[in-house]
Amino acid sequence: MGTPCDCGTALCEVMCRDCTQYRGACRACFVKDHKYNYFHWAEVWDAELGFYRRHDMSLIAPPLAVGHGSERCDQVPEDTPGLPFTITHTNGVHRTLIHRCGHKTDPVEPLMKSQLFPATFDKPATAYTFQVMQNFHIHNLESKQSAYDYCGSLMRLTDNAFAAENVSTFIRGAHLWSVVTTDKRMGHLHGIGEVLTCRPEGHSVLLCPACPEPGFNMDPKMPLNLPEELR
């Protein structure tokens, strides 16, 4: 710290431990380097205390713009204050600021476009990145890690000394994620029910392709009680 930044206009004072071999930069360059990595922790040098203090990116960067690929919506004035928002990523819980899209009245769509999954669809103030939802899903299936334990690890990654747990919203978000991804994989979000009318509406059970299914792999008029040798 205290060395000139590569831009030549300021001194290095911010580090990133989420990036590999990041050399440090001034605040302006750090924000530019992390335009698409908003959830990396900013390690800001405290000259008075003589050590790095970890902060959310919103301390040194403009609020996170959702719905426009990290670009501020043209319907939102530049001096608009950020909206307090809690976003959980794989490296911890970020209490940050966002700018909502000015074109959409639905607050959920811009969040989903930014790969942020809301904990609730009614006036969301908490969201989870797609990466943390996918990460938990794999850990839950493979290592049988519960949502309680996984949420506890996220709290420790946020602050290992003073971890505050809020499991209920994470569990709700994980349940919503599971339902939505199941519907996607079963084809319901793509209107598969209009094609496979023989199957129950909204089913989430993986059906066996070898089992007799009238209208799908057998003639609907064929009786189901055929002798075994004729099946």
Convert the pLDDT of each residue in 83-110 to its tens digit.
999 999 999 999 999 998 888 778 899 9
What pLDDT was estimated at residue 231?
Answer: 62
Interaxial angle between packed helices 130-142 and 147-158, expressed in degrees from 0 to 180 and rounded to the nearest 10: 130
Do 48 and 119 share a domain, yes or no? no
| Assigned domain for 227 exists | no
- Which of the four pLDDT bands, split at 50, 70 and 90, describes residue 56? very high
Do 187 and 75 share a domain, yes or no? yes
Tokens of residue 84, six digits: 């307090």
| Assigned domain for 97 exists | yes
| Assigned domain for 211 exists | no
Q: How many domains does the chain have?
A: 2
Interaxial angle between packed helices 147-158 and 167-186, expressed in degrees from 0 to 180 and rounded to the nearest 10: 120
Q: Which residue has the tokens 């530049």?
A: 78
Q: Domain range holding 51?
A: 1-61
| Assigned domain for 230 exists | no
| Assigned domain for 231 exists | no
Query: What amino acid is encoded at 37 in this protein?
Result: N
Q: What torsion do the CA atoms of 170, 111, 85, 172 make, to the nearest 10 degrees?
A: -20
Average pLDDT along the chain? 87
What pLDDT was estimated at residue 45?
Answer: 92
Do 74 and 164 share a domain, yes or no? yes
Q: Which of 74 and 200 is assigned the larger pLDDT?
A: 74
Q: What is the mean pLDDT of residues 130-143?
A: 95
Decide which of 36, 61, 86 is a domain's last residue: 61
- Can you give the pTM of this predicted structure? 0.83
Check: CB of residue 14 under 8 Å from CB of residue 24: yes
> Worst-scoring range by mean pLDDT, 138-147, 175-184, 198-207?
198-207
